[in-house]
Amino acid sequence: MKTRVLVLCLLAVGCLLGAIPAAAAPSPLPPAWPTTWDYVVDDPNMSPTPQMYPESYVATQDETGMITDLYVVGDSYTVFVNGAPVLVTPVVPDWTAYEVPDPGCSNGFPPCPYTTDPNVAWANPAEWSTGSFSLKTGDVVTIEEDTLPSGYTDGTYAITATTPEPTSIALFGSGLLGLFGTLRRRLSR
DSSP string, 28-85: PPPSS---SS-SEEEES--PSSSEEEEEEEE-SSSEEEEEEE-EES--EEEEEETTEE
Mean per-residue pLDDT, 37-47 = 73
Q: What is the pLDDT of residues 105-149, one digit of tens each?
A: 655 556 778 888 888 888 888 889 999 999 999 999 999 999 998
Mean per-residue pLDDT, 152-180 = 66
Q: At 23, is the pLDDT very low, low, confident or very high (cuts 50, 70, 90)?
A: very low
Distance in Å from the first CA to the final CA of the chain: 10
Look at 32-41, 97-106, 180-189 and tell me which has the smallest mean pLDDT: 32-41
What is the pTM for the complete model shown? 0.66
Contact present, 120 and 3 (Cβ < 8 Å):
no
The yes-or-no verdict on residue 152 having pLDDT over 70 is yes
Distance CA 189, CA 25 (A): 43
Q: At 91, is the pLDDT very low, low, confident or very high (cuts 50, 70, 90)?
A: very high
pLDDT, position 171: 52
pLDDT, position 38: 46
Phi-psi region of 71 (alpha: psi -120 to 50; beta: other; left: phi over 0): left
**112: Cβ contacts below 8 Å, ≥ 6 apart:** 95, 98, 101, 102, 105
Distance CA 81, CA 109 (A): 36
User: Which overall architecture, per CATH, does domain 24-164 show?
Assistant: Sandwich (2.60)
Distance CA 69, CA 92 (A): 10
pLDDT, position 71: 87
pLDDT, position 80: 96
